[in-house]
Amino acid sequence: MNHQRILITGASGCVGQYITHWLLKNSNAELVLYLRNPKKLTAIDRNNPRVQLLVGDLREVEIFADELSKVTRVIHTATAWGDPKRAFEVNIKATKNLLRLLNSNLIEQIIYFSTASILDRELQPLPEAFRYGTEYIQTKATCLQELETHPLAEKIIAVFPTLVFGGRVDGKSLFPSSYLTAGLTEATQWLWLARWIKAYSRFHFIHAADIAYVCGTLATTSHKQNQEPRQGKIRRLVLAQPSISIDSVVQKLLYWRGMQKTPRFPLYGWLVALLLKVLPIEVSDWDRFSIKQRHFEHDPISPPERFGGLSHAKTIEEIFALSGLPSRGVRQKAS
C-alpha cells in the first residue's frame, strides 16, 4: 500500500479517540483529525508530527476543501442527534458535502459510521426506521439509502456499531467514556428493582477498542469491492459481540455487585403494553416498535476475530471490569 493520509471525523469522541490511538500505534499513516474542540483530545498527543487538526463544525466542511482533497482514506464517525434540524444537517447534508470534496482519483476507502438500529436481523434496512425512527434513526437510514447510489459507493464500507462501551465510570481512563459506560453506575442503582423482573430481550454490545481494531485493520489493508451476500455496492458490517439477554446481564450484574438473587416475574409483551397505558410514561412510535421488536440481533456480526484479531472485551464481565465498575462479588480484572 502507498503511504496513507487518513481523515477521522468526530475525532474527539470516544470511538474517534480509540481509532486514532490504534492507528498511531499500528500504522505509519498521517492522521487528519476533524473535531470541534481540541481540548477534548485526552488520549491523543495533538503535537504528534503525524497528526494534523482540522478544528471546525462539520456543517462548514467547505473551509477545509484543500486538506480534504489530499486524503486517501476516511473514517467518518461524526454524528448528531437530539435536534432534528442539526441531525439532518450533520448526518445527511454534511456527509454528502464531505464526500463531494474528496478527490475521487485519490480516495481509496471510506468507512462510514451508522447504527445497527436501522438494520434487521439479516442486515437489511428496516422500513420502520424510515417510518417511526427518531431524527437520528431516520437520518442514518436515509443517508445509507442515498449512499448506495453514490458515485463512490464501491469505496464505502458502512459499519454499524451496536451498544458501545468505552472509557471508565470513574473517569480514570485516558479515553472519554461512552454514554453507556457513563450510565453503568446509575444502572446499578436500579438493580434492587430489576432483580425481580425476568426480561426476554436480546442485544449485542461492543467495546470501542474492538471497534478501533476492526476499523484500523480495514483502513490499513487494501480495499476490495463488496463480496458480502445480499448486499449492494456498500459493504455492511455490524460491529458486535454475540448477543446476550437482558435477564443474563441483570444476573451477572447482581453477582458482580454481590447482591442476592430473588424470584423473578416474567415481563411479557402484553404486560409491558399494559404498563405503558397505565403509567405516565411518554413513548414515541420508535419506542413502541422497539418494544414490539424485543430482540435486536444480527447475523453476521463482525468482532475483531473476523479480521484475525482478539477481542478486547468479549464478555459482559470484561466490560464491567474494563469500565471500572465497583465490584463486591468478584475480583476485578486489571484494566
User: Tens digits of per-residue pLDDT, 185-244?
Assistant: 998 998 888 888 888 889 999 999 999 999 999 999 999 989 998 899 999 999 999 999
DSSP classification of residue 242: P
Question: In this structure, are residues 256 and 195 in contact, taking their beta carbons and an 8 Å threshold?
Answer: no
Averaged pLDDT, 62-74: 97
Q: What percent of the chain has pLDDT over 70?
A: 93
Measured CA to CA, the distance from residue 161 to residue 115 in angstroms comes to: 6
Which H or E run contains 29? none
Confidence of residue 1 (pLDDT cuts 50, 70, 90): low
Q: Is 324 exposed, middle or buried (0-12, 13-18, 19+ CB in 10 A)?
A: buried
Query: What would the pLDDT profile of 119-147 be if each residue is shown by its tens digit?
Result: 999 999 999 999 999 999 999 999 999 99
Whether the predicted pLDDT of 277 surpasses 70: no
- Please give the distance of CA 126 from its chain centroid, rounded to a whole number: 18
Short-list 215, 94, 107, CA closest to 161: 215
Mean pLDDT of 253-267: 87
62 near 119, Cβ under 8 Å?
Answer: no
pLDDT of amino acid 269: 66
The residue among 45, 308, 300 whose CA lies nearest residue 160 is 300
d(CA 226, CA 219): 15
Higher pLDDT, 286 or 109: 109
The answer to whether the beta carbons of residues 154 and 109 sit under 8 Å apart is no
Quick one: pLDDT at residue 334?
Answer: 41
pLDDT for position 333 = 47
Q: Give the helix, strand, coil percentages of the chain, each rounded to 5.
A: 40, 15, 45
Q: Which of 128-132, 261-265, 270-274 has the highest mean pLDDT?
A: 128-132
Q: What is the mean pLDDT of residues 4-33?
A: 97
Domain 5-164+205-239 bears CATH identifier 3.90.1150.10: no
C-alpha cell at 163: 451498544
More confidently predicted of 324 and 266? 324
Please provide the DSSP assignment of 92-153 as one string. Answer: IIIHHHHHHTS-TTT--EEEEE--GGGB-TTSPBPHHHHHH--HHHHHHHHHHHHHTTSTTG
Instruction: Output the DSSP codes for 259-311.
Output: PPP---EE--HHHHHHHHHHS-----HHHHHHHHH--B--SS---GGGGT---
Q: Whole-angstrom Cα distance, residue 215 to residue 1?
A: 16
Average pLDDT over residues 86-96: 97
- Cα separation, 150 vs 327, whole angstroms: 49
